[in-house]
């Protein structure tokens, strides 16, 4: 039996400021819960990653990346064949690095820097071309915006029941008042708990759950009309309007990869 350590251990605990590696996964692969001593910038040039931690769930398409702080337990599930390119970043490598797990935009420059970084041989010296490339990657990382692709996990037992139901059945139309009646509380309590724990209303959380489910379905090549109907929207146009309002582009354009021939 192979008892050698995972390949990523030569990258995720390096003393170098930045290291990077490429890994390809088959559809449906699940990494299981794990953590890394160094922070991680995870980007898939092809395929979609569903990332979960105790704090919530993130859906990460090829036009985005996810920032994973050091020592945070997480797992990744692959939707489609995923070509993952990950940079491991020492926590003290640069000031003002993100402290929370978040989905970030990938600029054309940052994308190219990640792809170049995976080909940098280890070790490298700070005053070489490779060292300057890694410093530029850190500089670019500080400029990219975070994006609304997060579904926070509730901790209150009552909200957890609602969250588990809506995550499993995002088309569910049960209102906050109906949930309150089931749980034996006042409807205002439901709204107050959602705002306090998740920073959003019940309706906003349910809408986010639907949109993230939609991303996963679209990544699996589902038709827009089927996604809209499956998730309880009145029409494909209503779904497209809500999708564009949230993500800034139409559903048909979200997964377009503008660069061909990525490694």
pLDDT score for 6? 65
- For the chain, the farthest-separated pair of C-alpha atoms sits apart, in whole angstroms, at 65
Residue 97: domain span: 9-147
262 occurs within a structural domain = no
pLDDT score for 263? 47
172 occurs within a structural domain = yes
259 occurs within a structural domain = no
One domain for residues 17 and 88: yes
On whether the CB atoms of residues 63 and 254 are closer than 8 A, the answer is yes
Domain end residue (candidates: 90, 113, 147) = 147
Alpha helices for 68-223 (secondary structure H): 108-117, 129-141, 157-168, 176-183, 187-198, 202-219
User: What is the Cα–Cα distance from 105 to 25, expressed in whole angstroms?
Assistant: 22
Domain end residue (candidates: 147, 178, 213) = 147
Q: Residue 124 corresponds to which tokens in the numbers above?
A: 């490298």
One domain for residues 68 and 34: yes
One domain for residues 19 and 130: yes
On whether the CB atoms of residues 228 and 236 are closer than 8 A, the answer is yes
2 occurs within a structural domain = no
**229 cis-preceded (ω within 30 degrees of 0):** no
One domain for residues 101 and 215: no
173 occurs within a structural domain = yes
User: What is the Cα–Cα distance from 28 to 50, expressed in whole angstroms?
Assistant: 10
Residue 36 DSSP one-character state = -
One domain for residues 140 and 180: no
pLDDT score for 250? 87
Strand partners, 19: 88
User: What is the Cα–Cα distance from 147 to 186, expressed in whole angstroms?
Assistant: 33
Closest CA to 111 of 63, 181, 174: 63
One domain for residues 87 and 49: yes
User: What is the Cα–Cα distance from 41 to 97, expressed in whole angstroms?
Assistant: 11
The pTM of the full predicted model, rounded to 2 decimals, is: 0.82
On whether the CB atoms of residues 68 and 40 are closer than 8 A, the answer is yes
| Residue-level pLDDT, tens digit, the chain, 263 residues | 344 456 777 888 899 999 999 999 999 999 999 999 999 999 999 889 999 999 899 989 888 899 999 999 999 999 989 999 999 999 999 988 888 899 998 889 999 999 999 999 999 999 999 999 999 999 999 888 887 788 998 889 999 999 999 988 988 989 999 999 999 999 999 999 999 998 899 999 999 999 899 988 888 888 999 999 999 888 999 999 988 888 778 888 877 643 333 44
Domain end residue (candidates: 112, 147, 182) = 147
pLDDT score for 4? 45
Domain count, the chain: 2
One domain for residues 140 and 202: no
């Amino acid at each position: 039996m192979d008892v050698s350590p995972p390949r990523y251990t030569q990258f995720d605990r390096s003393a170098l400021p930045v290291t990077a590696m490429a890994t390809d996964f088959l559809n449906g692969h699940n990494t299981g819960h794990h953590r890394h001593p160094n922070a991680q910038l995870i980007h898939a040039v092809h395929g979609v990653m569903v990332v979960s931690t105790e704090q919530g769930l993130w859906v990460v398409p090829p036009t985005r990346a996810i920032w994973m702080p050091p020592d945070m337990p997480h797992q990744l599930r692959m939707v489609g064949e995923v070509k993952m390119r990950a940079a491991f970043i020492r926590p003290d490598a640069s000031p003002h690095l993100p402290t929370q797990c978040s989905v970030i935009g990938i600029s054309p420059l940052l994308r190219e820097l990640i792809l170049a970084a995976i080909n940098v041989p280890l070790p490298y010296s700070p005053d070489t071309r490779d060292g300057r490339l890694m410093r530029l990657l850190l500089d670019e990382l500080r400029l990219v915006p975070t994006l609304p692709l997060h579904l926070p996990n509730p901790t209150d037992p009552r909200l957890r029941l609602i969250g588990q139901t809506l995550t499993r059945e995002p088309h569910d139309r049960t209102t906050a008042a109906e949930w309150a009646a089931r749980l034996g509380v006042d409807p205002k309590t439901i709204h107050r708990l959602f705002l306090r724990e998740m920073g959003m209303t019940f309706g906003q959380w349910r809408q986010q759950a639907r949109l993230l489910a939609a991303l996963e379905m679209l990544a699996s090549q589902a038709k827009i009309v089927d996604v809209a109907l499956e998730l309880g929207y009145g029409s494909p146009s209503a779904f497209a309007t809500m999708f564009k309002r949230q993500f800034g582009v139409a559903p048909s354009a979200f997964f377009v990869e503008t660069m061909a021939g990525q490694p």
